[in-house]
Amino acid sequence: QQQVKQSPQSLIVQKGGISIINCAYENTAFDYFPWYQQFPGKGPALLIAIRPDVSEKKEGRFTISFNKSAKQFSLHIMDSQPGDSATYFCAASMTLTGGGADGLTFGKGTHLIIQP
Amino acid sequence: DTAVSQTPKYLVTQMGNDKSIKCEQNLGHDTMYWYKQDSKKFLKIMFSYNNKELIINETVPNRFSPKSPDKAHLNLHINSLELGDSAVYFCASSQMFQGRSEQYFGPGTRLTVT
């Protein structure tokens, strides 16, 4: 059972355009939703994250939109640049009863290509 | 300066061997993790560990075992390696702070079992 579903699997956007990646989750115990960016041969790097008590978070060109009732969240990349070409992963985790953080449950990833 | 480091970066070995991957974090975090990324790039949690508890993903074979000599290190030991163990393994660490727990990943270890 895949707890975090991500779409699309691949995405091509023109330079300067808006890239949009969507995720949906099933477990209502999730309380932390990060996005990671991964370049070939590198580890995933934290891009931006949101908690369910806010509906939107913006950091530079990156924005997360969160819809708690629909159990969906999305990443918007404004003014997309060729350097943004990478694989993007949404993820979710929950706070454990002892106060620690559970491991991340990842979506399957989106391969984003920004064409010059 | 590297926050989360792993060694080795590449590991090629034969079926049936036992191997270890080392992970160190200098962030002072209290929780560390191991993830497996398969050939389709799917990332899956294997273990999370802090000084209070070890959480094991139920799908991980018991040939895999985490070993933590201290708070800054979480090594991954693999017994009787199989072809299906070929993947990239990532170590990560995090610290709970004001309800947030940002996980930082290492550069990965590409394991190839022949």
Residues of B with CB under 8 A from a CB of A: 4, 30-31, 33, 35, 40-48, 50, 52-53, 55, 57, 90, 94, 96, 99-108
CA separation (Å) from B74 to A60, B32, B63, B109? Answer: 34, 7, 16, 14
Q: Judging by DSSP bridges, how do beta strands B4-7 and B43-50 pair with one another?
A: unpaired
Q: How far apart are CA B36 and CA B112, in angstroms?
A: 13
B5-47 tens-digit pLDDT: 999 999 999 999 999 999 999 999 988 999 999 999 999 999 9
Q: pLDDT digit string (tens) for A40-61?
A: 999 999 999 999 899 999 999 9
Do the beta carbons of residue A43 and residue B105 sit within 8 Å?
Answer: yes
Evaluate whether A34 touches A46 at the Cβ level (below 8 Å).
yes
| Residue A85, CA distances (Å) to A46, A93, A116, B107 in order | 15, 26, 11, 19
For B57-78, write each residue's pLDDT tens digit.
878 999 999 998 888 999 999 9
CB contact under 8 A, B90 and A105: no
Dist. CA B90–CA A62, nearest whole Å: 25
Pick from B101, B106, B107: CB nearest A32: B101
CB contact under 8 A, A49 and B102: yes
Place of tokens 């706070």: A95
Q: Which two tokens stand for residue A16?
A: 């300067």
